[in-house]
Structure 1
Amino acid sequence: MGITEEDSSLDMSLTLETAEFYQLSLREAKEIVDSTKSIVAENWRKLAARYGISRIAVERMSSVFAEK
């Protein structure tokens, strides 16, 4: 995730704040973030099943990976 000198929390908004560092426009960064979030939301349950993560653990993590 994007990390600034002042903040190292895992937050998508920090990714956008650091876009210029990666030579991305804000629009490009937003597109990448949106695409990544969508791909993760569509596929994380399948990957969890493939790697044998328990149903209980999947349900516990579901709010983290749900597309927002």
Structure 2
Amino acid sequence: MSGTYRGETRTGMAVRSFSSVSLDPPLICFCPAHTSSTRPKIRAAGVDRFAEVGWTPGAFGAPGG
């Protein structure tokens, strides 16, 4: 369970899948459902940190060579 607020707006989320990716830098991974009412708020608040990273799609569309 996680929660936050901005001004008077409170947002919370319970996730079933949560994993530590790295301690240095501290990174986590969680997987919200596409049907989550919190998911659009997460997307709206996020920054695309990979926007300037060059990649090409592999055979099945995933990043690859």
Report the TM-score when normalising by structure 1.
0.24
- Greater per-residue helix proportion: 1
Q: Which structure has the higher relative contact order (CA within 8 Å, separation 6+)?
A: 1
Which of 1 and 2 has greater Rg?
A: 2
Report the TM-score when normalising by structure 2.
0.25
- Greater per-residue strand proportion: 2
